[in-house]
Amino acid sequence: FKRVTVRQTHRLRVCFVKMAGNNMGEKVHTSSNKNISLPISRVKLIMKSSPEVSSINQDALFLTAKATELFVQHLAMYSFKKGSGQENKSLTYSDLANAAEESETFQFLADILPKKILARDYLKTLEEKGDDSDD
């Protein structure tokens, strides 16, 4: 990994905070973590679960939390706009699964957000595969 200078980290932090502020109509506060919705302790715990990570800089922690928050917000907005959410003003699991399957940007989530399938449909598919392999 390339080392990032303090100045670069500060610029990135200001950029993320401005982006989040512009997206949600919030004021920009770069000196506090009040503009992050995700719990910092959980983000730190997830980051520390990686064997390659020995210590975590506070700025890196903030940027990771903010980037994650913005990503989840983007995924939710995309899924809402492309899915059935606009009709009933809700976001469903199937909307997220469809976004993961159909969008190239979210394709890496297809295994994490698979489309739901009824047990009877799954069993029927297994039977059909079994019949095909018997031939």
12 pLDDT tier (thresholds 50, 70, 90): low
Please name the residues in contact with 74: beta carbons below 8 A apart, sequence gap of 6 or more: none
Which of residues 62 and 16 earns the better pLDDT score? Answer: 62
| Average pLDDT score over residue span 94-102 | 90
Alpha-carbon dihedral angle through residues 59, 14, 73, 53, given to the nearest 10 degrees: -20
pLDDT recorded at residue 74: 92
User: CA angle, 126 as apex, 121 and 129 as ends, to 5°?
Assistant: 125
- Average pLDDT of the residues in 37-60: 89
Res. 68 pLDDT band, cuts 50 70 90: very high
Residue 82: the pLDDT is: 86
Q: Is the pTM of this model over 0.85?
A: no
